[in-house]
């Protein structure tokens, strides 16, 4: 059956860092010369609520700063978001796929980060829809996020492909009837991914 939409995970697929937290914590750690473990711990206690849109960074920033042991301006988050390393070969793959079908994003992410990166990386010019857990109030561990993404893309699950660097997310997508591919971010073998999309789905990858 002809594929109508290829959905990409964001961090670990469209970026070369496995998670957005990796990017943000690395930047803050280097910027303020604080151990990465301390920075990660300060953010970690709020990560789930931020990812589900139950909290904002602004609301918990005093507590995060206290955990890091510094008085940090909230603007450092924008700098951290902007340091996100785009995986350019995957972006090129998405552009080729766009000639044959829709390309979209499904991501577990903080809303302020994705709003910023949608502008900085011009994501909206290529990907539609961009489905963010913090906006939907549900994560990829729940089939509902995939159901909503399929509805927004106006595509049946059997006519979609989902690409993610997390095996559990791949399994949830498959349980929704989607084709799903695990992408190993550590090897970042985009050529192998492209070949699979060509041979299995006849896509111009």
Cis amide prior to 41 (ω within 30 degrees): no
36-73 exposure pattern, b = at least 16 Cβ within 10 A, e = fewer: eeebbebbeebbeebbbbebebeebbeebbebbebebe
Q: Can you read off the two tokens belonging to residue 50? A: 């931020």
pLDDT, residue 51, reads 98
pLDDT, residue 92, reads 98
- Chunked in runs of 10, what are the mean pLDDT values of the chain (205 residues)? 96 98 97 95 97 97 95 96 98 98 98 98 98 98 98 98 98 98 98 98 93
pLDDT, residue 205, reads 82
Query: Number of C-alpha atoms within 13 angstroms, CB side, residue 77?
Result: 20
In the block, residue with structure tokens 């059956």: 1
Domain ranges of the chain: 5-17+85-201, 20-82
pLDDT, residue 188, reads 98
pLDDT, residue 128, reads 98
What is the per-residue DSSP string for the chain? ----EEEE-IIIIIBSSS-HHHHHHHHHHHHHT--HHHHHHHHHHHHHHHHTTSS-HHHHHHHHHHHHTS---THHHHHHHHT--B-HHHHHHHHHHTTTSEEEEEE---HHHHHHHHHHTTGGGT-S-EEEHHHHT--TTSHHHHHHHHHHHT--GGGEEEEES-HHHHHHHHHTT-EEEE--TTT--HHHHHHHHHHHH----
Cα gap 135→131, rounded to integer Å: 8
pLDDT, residue 143, reads 98
- Domain 5-17+85-201 in CATH 1.10.3720.10? The answer is no
């Amino acid at each position: 059956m002809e594929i109508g939409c290829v959905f990409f995970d964001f961090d670990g697929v469209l970026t070369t860092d496995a998670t957005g937290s990796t990017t943000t914590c690395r930047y803050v750690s280097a910027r303020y010369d604080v151990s990465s473990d301390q920075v990660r711990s300060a953010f970690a206690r709020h990560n789930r609520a931020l990812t589900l849109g139950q909290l904002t960074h602004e609301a918990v920033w005093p507590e995060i700063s206290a955990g890091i042991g510094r008085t940090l301006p909230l603007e450092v988050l924008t700098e951290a978001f902007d340091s996100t390393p785009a995986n350019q070969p995957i972006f090129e793959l998405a552009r080729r796929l766009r000639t044959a079908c829709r390309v979209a994003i499904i991501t577990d992410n903080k809303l302020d980060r994705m709003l910023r990166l949608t502008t900085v990386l011009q994501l909206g010019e290529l990907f539609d829809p961009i489905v963010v857990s913090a906006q939907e109030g549900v994560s990829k561990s729940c089939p509902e996020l995939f159901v909503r993404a399929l509805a927004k893309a106006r595509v049946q699950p059997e006519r979609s492909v989902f690409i993610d660097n997390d095996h559990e997310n791949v399994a949830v997508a498959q349980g929704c009837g989607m084709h799903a591919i695990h992408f190993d971010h550590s090897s970042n073998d985009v050529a192998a991914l492209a070949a699979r999309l060509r041979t299995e789905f006849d896509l111009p990858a």
